[in-house]
């Protein structure tokens, strides 16, 4: 858990520096100070995403390394005419790297599924006298990531269907879309990062007591959260050219003071939508 907290904090700090840098560049440009044209080009966006992802994952992210390489290559080629003779090899090498990544990821997934199966069978045998509560053995199964931390929190895992039994959120939607339905009955909050992507989060089956915090960082993306109408949701999100809407249908009984969700983070050129059934 200590490693996971440090990892999440590093990601939040990196995101903060990105927002700070963009703000400074825009301010200097408005003041008439010369800003090189390449600073606001699309290869720089790839570089920023690559650096952010690498810092967040302690420089052990294949995706971050690829984004950084592609951004750097196209920036040097387009703006400084430095091709290094790699132009004809970039896309073949990229496809090879993608193939290797998919193969290695599949092996990791198979290994994780095998560990889950073994843990589930062990827990089932050890709790045979409590067979009526076998669902608890599923929640006790732990999946470890590359850094040795449990994915999504202290306990639980996410099925390939998008159903999550984790107590904490850990969602990264970068150039992609994520659909997640959380089933935890001891929900502890977590974090959502959406960069040039989107996330749909269903929290209608979640239960908790007290105050929890969800860190939401969105840049050129969107997040939709479906929550029960009686939750007390408080927003402390910074909006920069972004939108935040609460479209819930409130009940006559009002909000439940024992279920408070605090949303924190930054939304830059994106949107956060909160709904209920």
Question: How far is residue 93's CA from residue 260's CA, in Å, rounded to a whole number?
Answer: 49
| Kind of pairing between the strands at 210-219 and 190-195 | parallel
Report the SS3 class of residue 206: coil
pLDDT attached to residue 230: 87
Question: How far is residue 220's CA from residue 200's CA, in Å, rounded to a whole number?
Answer: 15
Low-confidence ranges of the chain (pLDDT < 50): 1-10, 130-155
pLDDT attached to residue 46: 82
pLDDT attached to residue 113: 60
- Sole residue written with tokens 């006298």: 129
pLDDT attached to residue 159: 56
- Sole residue written with tokens 């790699």: 86
pLDDT attached to residue 260: 92
Question: How far is residue 92's CA from residue 198's CA, in Å, rounded to a whole number?
Answer: 29
- As beta bridge partners, residue 217 has 193, 266
What would the pLDDT profile of 108-154 be if each residue is shown by its tens digit?
A: 656 666 666 676 667 666 655 544 444 444 444 343 343 334 433 44
pLDDT attached to residue 153: 40
What would the pLDDT profile of 230-240 be if each residue is shown by its tens digit?
A: 899 998 887 77
Sign of torsion, CA 166 169 174 175? positive
Cβ-based burial of 187 (10 A; exposed 0-12, middle 13-18, buried ≥19)? buried
pLDDT attached to residue 250: 66
Question: If you compute the radius of gyration of the chain from its CA atoms, what whole number of angstroms results?
Answer: 21
CA distances for 142 relative to 124, 153, 172, angstroms: 14, 9, 20
Closest CA to 221 of 160, 265, 184: 265
């Amino acid at each position: 858990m200590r490693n996971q907290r440090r990892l999440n904090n590093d990601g939040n700090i990196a995101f903060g520096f990105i927002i700070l840098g963009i703000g400074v560049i825009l301010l200097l440009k408005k003041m008439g100070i010369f800003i090189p044209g390449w600073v606001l080009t699309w290869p720089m966006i790839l570089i920023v995403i690559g650096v952010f992802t690498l810092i967040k994952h302690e420089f052990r992210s294949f995706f971050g390394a690829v984004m950084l390489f592609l951004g750097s290559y196209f920036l040097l080629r387009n703006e400084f005419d430095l091709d290094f003779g790699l132009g004809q090899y970039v896309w073949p090498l990229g496809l090879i790297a993608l193939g290797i990544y998919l193969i290695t990821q599949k092996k990791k997934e198979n290994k994780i599924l095998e560990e889950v199966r073994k843990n589930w069978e062990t827990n089932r045998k050890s709790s045979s006298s409590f067979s009526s509560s076998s669902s608890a053995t599923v929640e006790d199964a732990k999946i470890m990531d590359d850094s040795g931390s449990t994915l999504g929190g202290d306990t639980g895992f996410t099925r390939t269907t998008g159903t999550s039994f984790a107590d904490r959120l850990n969602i990264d939607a970068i150039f992609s879309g994520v659909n997640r339905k959380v089933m935890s009955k001891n929900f502890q909050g977590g974090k959502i990062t959406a960069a040039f992507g989107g996330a749909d989060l269903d929290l209608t089956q979640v239960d908790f007591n007290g105050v929890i915090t969800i860190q939401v960082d969105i840049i050129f993306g969107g997040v939709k959260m479906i929550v029960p109408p009686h939750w007390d949701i408080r927003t402390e999100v910074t909006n920069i050219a972004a939108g935040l809407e609460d479209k819930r249908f409130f009940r006559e009984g009002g909000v439940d003071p024992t279920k408070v969700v605090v949303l924190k983070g930054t939304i830059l050129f994106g949107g956060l939508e909160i709904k209920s059934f």
